Amino acid sequence: MDTPAAILAKKLAYLLDERIIVAAALARACGVSKQAITGWRRTGRIAKPHLQVIAEMANVSLEWLLDGNPPASETVTQFRPPRPTWPFKSVSWERYFALSADDKADLDRRISAIVTGYEASGDDGRKSPPTSLAS
Tell me the per-residue pLDDT of 38-73, one tens digit each, with 9 for 90 and over: 999 999 999 999 999 998 888 888 888 888 787 775
pLDDT for the residue numbered 118 = 83
C-alpha to C-alpha distance for 40 and 26, rounded to whole angstroms: 11
pLDDT at 4 over 70: yes
| 91-115 CB burial, b ≥16 within 10 A, e <16 | eebeebbbeeeeeeeeeeeeeeebe
Within 10 angstroms of residue 133's Cβ, the number of other Cβ atoms is 13
Note the pTM of the prediction, 2 decimals. 0.60
Mean pLDDT of the chain: 81
